[in-house]
Amino acid sequence: MKYDFEQVIDRHGTDSSKWDCGAELLKKGYTTRYDKETIPLFNADMDFRCAPEIIKAMEQVVARGIYGYTSIVDDDYYKAIQSWFFKYNNWKIKKEQIMLERGTITGIVNLIQTFTEKEDGIIIMPPVYSGFRDAIAFTGRTAQYCWLKCNDEPYYTIDFERLEKLASDSKNKAILLCNPHNPIGRAWKKEELNQVIHICRKHNLFIWSDDVHCDLMRTNQKYIPVASICDYKKIVTLTSLSKTFNLAGLYITNIIFEDIEMKEKYVQKCLGASASPFDIVLVKTAYTRCENWLIQLREYLDDNLKWAVERLRRNIPGVKCTMPEGSYIIWMDFEKCGMSEEDVRSRIIDKANVMLSRGIKAAPGKGNYSYRICAGVSRSVLEKAVNRIIEAF
């Protein structure tokens, strides 16, 4: 079956965080222009309709008309997850390791609260998804920055010297990995992950790996789950249906613990999520029946990203644009374009009227010239947005 990613679906009037929150964003000062012509590409959710297999499975649950308390009773829920990660990533997961949670950030907050104390340090690698800093600040812990290094390409790598230094400080208890890394799109190679494992083992740090973008790899790239290449017990991996199957509003996250005692401790402290009938059906359907949809989606995203990155690089002198190995996010740095920060902002937001997230959130103090494009949209919308940005420069 051929799936349609070209169709533009009008999401206005659906309480979409992306398409309907202009007034709120203006009020909070997150942007200076938002009207019916604004193209919002700041949010990491896609504008494609879900796989028909998913819609049908949901409809069947809806048609039953009863949505009572539900538990994960049969093993098919776990088997779907186990087979998926084994088939694609050679990662063997036991049923007992898996726990449903209501959202990934909830999972991260709960991990922090269960396994660290107030004011402990959590290492993150900016530029990184701003939800990490928010979770750390919310729990009263301290974010310790191990800034990624970047060359002119631009290609980002881990600063292992700095990581070793931070890890050796006994106040720092965990590293929060992002694999593939939002917003710079790197999928960490085996050698890089091995170095992270080596350093964390040596200094007894937790490795919490947020892998929610892991199924959205470029077709020539590979995602390697950190837990699949070692036996380090302090690894916890957060996986989700959100990004892969465009179900972000349903917050279906599965956390995979390498140490069952850690899972028990988490449950004692934070419970974990109660399952809804939708969660169960969606996990089973997504991981067993939506493979073809995902293959076609990846091809579509590959083309979108290739087109947009090439066009931006060719037409905006000085701009640095990542080509993501995983995810649909492009990270752009306008620092070498010879303009002031305010000029860059105004060209993108006010003139092009494309709403992007600003780098100051992902890269505090360093990302003033950076912006993130989430390119999980139909090609015609992406073309309109990219062309408008180019014209504004």
Ligand X SMILES: Cc1ncc(COP(=O)(O)O)c(C=O)c1O
Query: Rule CB under 6 A: is residue 283 a binding residue for ligand X?
Result: no
Buried b (16+ CB within 10 A) or exposed e, 233-253: ebbbbbbbbbbbbbbbebbbb
CB under 8 Å to 295, separation ≥6 — which residues?
Answer: none
Over the window 112 to 131, marking each residue x when it contacts ligand X by CB under 6 A and - when it does not, the resulting string is -----------------x-x
268 by Cβ neighbours in 10 Å (0-12 / 13-18 / 19+) ranks as exposed
Does residue number 215 form part of the binding site for ligand X (CB under 6 A)? no
Establish if 105 lies at the interface with ligand X (CB under 6 A): yes
Beta carbon nearer to ligand X, 266 or 393: 266
Contact between 240 and ligand X (CB under 6 A)?
yes
Q: Identify the residue among 123, 135, 136, 178 touching ligand X (CB under 6 A).
A: 178
Q: Does residue number 227 form part of the binding site for ligand X (CB under 6 A)? A: no
Q: Which is nearer to ligand X, 324 or 337 (CB)?
A: 324
Q: Which is nearer to ligand X, 124 or 248 (CB)?
A: 248
Smallest separation, CB 352 to ligand X (Å) = 23
Contact between residue 35 and residue 353 where contact means Cβ atoms under 8 Å apart: yes
- Residue 210 touching ligand X (CB under 6 A): yes
Contacts of 66 (CB under 8 A, 6+ apart): none
Q: Which is nearer to ligand X, 255 or 316 (CB)?
A: 255
Least distance to ligand X, CB of residue 3, Å: 23
Q: How far apart are CA 108 and CA 278, in angstroms?
A: 23
Segment lying near ligand X (by CB under 6 A), choices 218-226, 229-237, 248-256, 296-304:
248-256
* Window contacting ligand X (CB under 6 A); options: 101-109, 141-149, 217-225, 380-388: 101-109
Binding residues for ligand X restricted to 250-269, rule: CB under 6 A:
251, 253
Among 125, 212, 256, 319, binds ligand X (CB under 6 A): 212
* Number of shown-chain residues binding ligand X (CB under 6 A): 15
Verify binding: residue 242, ligand X, rule CB under 6 A.
yes
As a whole number of Å, the CA-based R_g of the chain is 21
Cα 177 from Cα 120, distance rounded (Å): 17
- Judge whether 197 and 213 are in contact, CB under 8 Å: no
Q: Which of 33, 54, 80, 103 binds ligand X (CB under 6 A)?
A: 103
Cα 236-269-167 angle, rounded to 5 deg? 40
Our CB check for ligand X shows the closer of 38 and 104 to be 104
Q: Is 248 in the site for ligand X (CB under 6 A)?
A: yes
| Footprint (CB under 6 A) of ligand X, residues 144-173 | none
x-or-dash string of contact with ligand X, 81-100, rule CB under 6 A: --------------------
Helices 104-115 and 130-138, axial angle in degrees (round to 10): 40
Nearest CB to ligand X, comparing residues 137 and 260 = 137
Pick from 25, 44, 199, 301: which binds ligand X (CB under 6 A)? 44
Residues found near ligand X in the complex (CB under 6 A): 44, 103-105, 129, 131, 178, 182, 210, 212, 240, 242, 248, 251, 253
